[in-house]
Chain A
């Protein structure tokens, strides 16, 4: 009997079952540490670099805060619901999207998550190939090469993946210890780096540096900077429930993502924008030695390496949980192993097109939280029938398992978004709607979908 109980509790932590109060393992500080490890990684440094590319420091800082604030301020609320019911990110959305609609979205999201794993792993690779010469390590030349699959960067990226894979497989308690150690260390190194940069270059000098390659139109620079930061902010939309379900209180579920992905991650983004302004190099690993010198530079590269391993762990675990929820009979190892195809993306070309990835998929994860927030709060008012959701009962079946209204929001969102901006080329030339430079693209898309979904669903419910 005791063994059965233990099996059930482990199954709750590792998979399919609702997690009860006594089984929750993440307190507020654990959760903040976890989200710091999530936030301070490849994406924060890359978005910061792009921000510094188009904006000087005094404009970059508010752009970063504004860009991150709106998505997080809105979405942190739905973390509470996953904690309240103790269930995964991909269970409650069945109520909004329909059972098959939700599975379809999971199948689209998994390759996107591979993209995030690729960025974290490859930045680790980039950090190591620069760290080795910096410390004078006697290694064959291959281990410091960058281009192509047969390169040192790809090799080290695979190592980062393996190192991230192991704690993810061991589960949330192993992850908790990893993040308890890594988060304070990463925060201290990051603050030290910022202090070093300010002391070395002077705050007033930093604030006088021009943007590296801005657009001619100053409004466009601000709009793109907010856009990329908002893209990162909205990107978290898929990553709440997997962790909120094991939070010991709703407060913990709320604070973790807010601090980790909010102000603390913003520090990393701001640091990256400053260093971009100093060096003019888009590759975050390249500027560490340039800006930090041999001592702080090496520490900075170690920070990037560690940060991306912990992020990998979190991304892999985050993917495994919804896989177990959707296909509960698969083994835990199989669920975790669904992250392995990400290895195909460990390449310099993928790495260099980060801003395209961010804005393109950014639209998808802007529509997703807009639908969920409207549905969870305005339509369903925070109430769910878990039995129906688990057993796929008629209440949330909609049309053959798809909520057509929710599904339609995705093409509508994309059409609207592409009528505002061309994210492939980061330009508004040829845009049908001329107000991107005032509003950005993702924020009005979010607002449009939120209200459109609410109005249509309310009208349909009234009619029924």
Chain B
């Protein structure tokens, strides 16, 4: 498949008919895939959450402590707690319960 051709000229009834018939087919595929595999593509792994959120927060905390910024340290700590709670919750909802 190439993208050199212009796409979706839009407009006419023929186009609309084709579009909605394809949509109906695809919605069936999506529904089936979600029911069977939870997602159209490979589902996310928990390490993705923890590595990323952890690394960014670690740096912020480390820098705040190293520079002795107590107000920022407090703000950073609150944000870490919020993100940790959120991460656990989001994980439960979109992976475990999916």
Residues of A within 8 A of B (CB): 4, 6-21, 24, 58-59, 61-63, 65-66, 69-70, 72-74, 76-77, 80-81, 83-86, 169-174, 219, 222, 226, 247-251, 254-255, 258-259, 262-263, 324, 328-334, 377, 381-383, 386-387, 390
23 A–B contacts, CB within 8 A, in A order: A4-B18, A6-B1, A10-B5, A11-B22, A17-B22, A21-B33, A62-B76, A65-B56, A70-B82, A73-B83, A83-B41, A85-B30, A172-B3, A173-B2, A173-B3, A219-B71, A254-B49, A255-B48, A332-B6, A333-B6, A377-B89, A382-B93, A387-B27
> Which of A247, A263, A329 has the most chain B CB atoms closer than 10 A to its own CB?
A329
On whether the beta carbons of B48 and A251 are closer than 8 Å, the reply is yes
Residues in A with CB closer than 8 Å to B42 are 248-251
| Cα distance A268–B97 in the bound complex, in angstroms | 38
The one of A65, A248, A251 in contact with B60, judged by C-beta atoms closer than 8 angstroms, is A65
Q: A69-B60, A262-B52 are in contact. Are A329 and B11 (CB under 8 A)?
A: yes
| Cα distance A333–B5 in the bound complex, in angstroms | 12
The one of B4, B26, B69, B79 in contact with A170, judged by C-beta atoms closer than 8 angstroms, is B4
Residues in A with CB closer than 8 Å to B39 are 83-84, 250
Residues in A with CB closer than 8 Å to B7 are 10-11, 13-15, 171, 332
The 8 A CB mask of B40-78 against A (1 = contact, 0 = none) is 111111001100110111011001100101011001100
| Cα distance A249–B3 in the bound complex, in angstroms | 22
On whether the beta carbons of B79 and A69 are closer than 8 Å, the reply is yes
Residues in B with CB closer than 8 Å to A251 are 42, 44-45, 48
On whether the beta carbons of A248 and B41 are closer than 8 Å, the reply is yes
On whether the beta carbons of A263 and B89 are closer than 8 Å, the reply is no
The one of A17, A173, A254 in contact with B19, judged by C-beta atoms closer than 8 angstroms, is A17
Residues in A with CB closer than 8 Å to B5 are 10
On whether the beta carbons of A222 and B9 are closer than 8 Å, the reply is no
On whether the beta carbons of B19 and A258 are closer than 8 Å, the reply is no
Residues in B with CB closer than 8 Å to A10 are 1, 3, 5, 7-8
Least Cβ–Cβ distance between B81 and chain A, in angstroms: 11
The one of A62, A83, A254 in contact with B48, judged by C-beta atoms closer than 8 angstroms, is A254
On whether the beta carbons of A329 and B1 are closer than 8 Å, the reply is no
The one of A15, A85, A173 in contact with B8, judged by C-beta atoms closer than 8 angstroms, is A15
Q: Label chain B's interface by main secondary structure.
A: helix
Residues of B within 8 A of A (CB): 1-11, 15-16, 18-19, 22-23, 26-27, 29-31, 33-34, 38-45, 48-49, 52-53, 55-57, 59-60, 63-64, 67, 69, 71-72, 75-76, 79, 82-83, 86-87, 89-90, 93-94, 97-98
Residues in A with CB closer than 8 Å to B76 are 62, 66
Query: Told that A62-B63, A332-B9, A382-B97 touch, could you supply 17 new A-B pairs with CB distance under 8 A?
Result: A11-B7, A20-B30, A59-B67, A62-B67, A62-B69, A70-B79, A73-B53, A73-B56, A85-B34, A248-B42, A249-B42, A263-B55, A324-B8, A331-B6, A383-B98, A386-B31, A387-B31
On whether the beta carbons of A174 and B3 are closer than 8 Å, the reply is yes
| Cα distance A280–B82 in the bound complex, in angstroms | 36
On whether the beta carbons of B90 and A377 are closer than 8 Å, the reply is yes
On whether the beta carbons of B34 and A84 are closer than 8 Å, the reply is yes
Residues in A with CB closer than 8 Å to B83 are 69-70, 73-74
Q: A59-B72, A83-B41 are in contact. Are A18 and B52 (CB under 8 A)?
A: no
The one of B18, B26, B57, B59 in contact with A7, judged by C-beta atoms closer than 8 angstroms, is B18
Residues in B with CB closer than 8 Å to A77 are 86, 90, 94
| Cα distance A170–B23 in the bound complex, in angstroms | 23
On whether the beta carbons of B30 and A386 are closer than 8 Å, the reply is yes
Closest residue of chain A to B97 (Cβ to Cβ) is A381
Residues in A with CB closer than 8 Å to B15 are 329
| Cα distance A70–B76 in the bound complex, in angstroms | 9
On whether the beta carbons of B41 and A84 are closer than 8 Å, the reply is yes
Residues in A with CB closer than 8 Å to B19 are 11, 16-17, 328
Q: A329-B15, A331-B9 are in contact. Are A250 and B71 (CB under 8 A)?
A: no
Least Cβ–Cβ distance between A440 and chain B, in angstroms: 9
Residues in B with CB closer than 8 Å to A17 are 19, 22-23, 26
Residues in B with CB closer than 8 Å to A15 are 7-8
Least Cβ–Cβ distance between A371 and chain B, in angstroms: 16
| Cα distance A82–B43 in the bound complex, in angstroms | 12
Q: A17-B19, A62-B63, A262-B52 are in contact. Are A86 and B3 (CB under 8 A)?
A: no
On whether the beta carbons of B23 and A171 are closer than 8 Å, the reply is no
On whether the beta carbons of A66 and B97 are closer than 8 Å, the reply is no
> Which of B4, B15, B27, B76 has the most chain A CB atoms closer than 10 A to its own CB?
B27
Least Cβ–Cβ distance between B13 and chain A, in angstroms: 10
On whether the beta carbons of A250 and B9 are closer than 8 Å, the reply is no
On whether the beta carbons of B44 and A331 are closer than 8 Å, the reply is no
| Cα distance A83–B44 in the bound complex, in angstroms | 10
Closest residue of chain B to A84 (Cβ to Cβ) is B39
> Which of B18, B38, B56 has the most chain A CB atoms closer than 10 A to its own CB?
B56
Q: Which 10 A-B pairs have the closest CB atoms?
A: A250-B44, A171-B3, A331-B10, A14-B7, A249-B42, A65-B60, A84-B39, A382-B94, A173-B3, A73-B83
| Cα distance A259–B51 in the bound complex, in angstroms | 11
